[in-house]
Amino acid sequence: MATMTYLQAISDGLRQEMRADQRVMVMGEDIGVFGGAFKVTDGFIAEFGPDRVMDTPLAESGIVGTAIGAAVVGLRPVCEMQFSDFIACGFDQLVNVAGKMHYRQGLAVPITVRLPSGGGFSGGPFHSQNPEAWFMQSPGIKVVAPSTAEDAKGLMISAIRDPNPVCYMEHKHLYRRIKGEVPDGIYETPFTARVAREGTELTIVTYGAMVHTALEATEDLDGASVEVLDLRSLVPLDTEAILASVRKTSKVLIVDEANRTCAAGAEVAAVIAEHAFEDLDGPVTRIATPDVPIPFSPPLEQAVLPSVDRVKEAARELLAY
């Protein structure tokens, strides 16, 4: 197995699927000649040509709409939104057309929408959002969020092969910071949770970049045994894995980088409260980003995003409850 960065693993997953399946194509702003804003598709146009690596106008609605049409006639497009924030401009096509096409007309819409998301790099309010909750509430759309290089590749392949529209949340802060061994060739990662670390005294439920924050915060937390559950998929949500972990430890801390109101963490909290209330030895505790735009200022950005210190403090309080 090769060691890859998170970014390289995403790129490898795309490349492997494009080599294996002529129906797979990629499209987006500056993804061809320039190789993408973050260089995920660097070299793709030379290998696959402009018919399968399409530079598009600055028009997210047009990108998603074109992808839907291509998918309906048998292709498997992968759209890149240069930043996840910009999907708002393609919201109608994705939510009201792609998400409802199968229900209304019985047609599969196998499109994957790559959404470079998240903060931590002083990108400011228009380049740092985590909009996954927008699509969790939209019928017909799946949502995945890898935290490791291995899962970044495997979930990309699974998303491309899925007959439903899939929002692929790739966290920008992880692109070149996270490395790991990645299996060669083609493999699929299931849309289920994984236990990132086994534990018996406390469960932390999280996903994306916050998996690494949680692991760092609890690596040596006064000798406590802390389980970290990486959701990987938000739709479908692996409620069985969540409830199994909570019933084992009896205490749960949810860490979510998205804005607090109606985010993925809120749904996890509701599931636990409904189905595992009697198994709990303490309150369902949450850490999330306040409902404010992400600041440009590095100190202010770090003040609003969940941090290692905040996770440590919340975990200690819950363990002592």
Catalytic residue among 102, 127, 212, 275: 127
- Report yes or no: 198 and 227 within 8 Å, Cβ to Cβ: yes
Rounded to whole angstroms, the Cα distance separating 100 from 102 reads: 6
Of all helices (H) and strands (E), which one includes residue 67? helix 60-72
CA distance 200 to 227: 7
Cβ neighbourhood burial of 8 (10 Å; 0-12, 13-18, 19+): buried
In sequence order, what are the residues at sequence separation of 6 or more whose Cβ sits closer than 8 angstroms to the Cβ of residue 201? 224, 225, 226, 249, 251, 319
Question: Does the annotation count 127 as an active-site position?
Answer: yes
Report the alpha-carbon distance of residue 310 to residue 282 in Å, rounded.
18
In DSSP notation, 135-194 reads HHTSTT-EEE---SHHHHHHHHHHHHHSSS-EEEEEEGGGTTT-EEEE-SS-----SS-E
Query: Which pair of tokens denotes residue 172?
Result: 């920008």
Q: Which two three-digit tokens encode residue 215? A: 């692991």
Give the residue numbers marked as catalytic. Answer: 127
